[in-house]
Amino acid sequence: MVEVVELASPTIRLRLMTLGAAIVSLECPDGQGRTGPAHLSLPSLAGYEDRKRNPYLGASVGRYANRIAGARFPLDGREVRVTANEGVNQLHGGPDGFGRRLWGLTEVTSTDDGGQATMTLRSPAGDQGFPGTVTVTASYELSGHRLRITYRGEADAPTVLNLTNHGYWNLDGSPTVHDHHLALAADAVLPVDDASIPTGRPVTVQGTSFDLRARTRLGPVIAAIPPGLDHCFAVRGAAGELRGAAVLDSPSSSRWLAVLTDQPGVQVYTGNNLGPPFRPHGAVCLETQLFPDTPNRPELGSAVLRPGQHYTSITELRFGTGEPPGVEELQP
What pLDDT, in 10s, does the model give residues 116-134? Answer: 999 999 999 999 999 999 9
Give the angle 120-99-117 at the CA atoms, nearest 5°: 40
Q: What is the pLDDT of residue 255?
A: 98
295 phi and psi angles, rounded to 5 deg: -55, -25
71 closest CA partner among 91, 55, 99: 91
What CATH number is associated with residue 318?
2.70.98.10
pLDDT at 160: 98
Contact between residue 82 and residue 90 where contact means Cβ atoms under 8 Å apart: yes
How far separated are the first and last CA of the chain, in Å rounded?
37
- Report phi then psi at 298, rounded to 5: -60, -20
**How much is the pLDDT for 224?**
98
pLDDT tens readout for residues 174-213: 999 999 999 999 999 999 999 999 999 999 999 999 999 9
Range of the domain at 188: 4-329
Average pLDDT over residues 23-47: 97
**Does residue 158 contact residue 307 with C-beta atoms inside 8 Å?**
yes
**CA distances for 299 relative to 250, 295, 328, angstroms:** 37, 10, 27
Q: ∠ CA 245-113-108 to the nearest 5 degrees?
A: 90
Domain count along the chain: 1
- The answer to whether residues 253 and 202 touch, using CB atoms and an 8 Å cutoff, is no
pLDDT at site 308? 98
294-321 tens-digit pLDDT? 999 999 999 999 999 999 999 999 999 9
- CA dist 226 and 164 (Å) reads 25
Q: What is the pLDDT of residue 261?
A: 98
Q: What is the mean pLDDT of residues 269-288?
A: 97
**DSSP H/E element including 172:** none
pLDDT band, residue 51 (cuts 50/70/90): very high
In this prediction, residue 235 has a pLDDT band, given cuts at 50, 70 and 90, of very high
Query: What is the maximal distance between C-alpha atoms in the chain?
Result: 59
pLDDT at residue 170 in the model: 98
Q: Are 72 and 90 in contact (CB under 8 A)?
A: no
pLDDT value at residue 124: 98
- The fraction of the chain above a pLDDT of 90, given in percent, is 100
Residues labelled as active-site residues: 166, 287
Task: Compute the mean pLDDT over every residue in the chain, rounded to the nearest whole number.
Answer: 98
Q: What is the per-residue pLDDT for 103?
A: 98
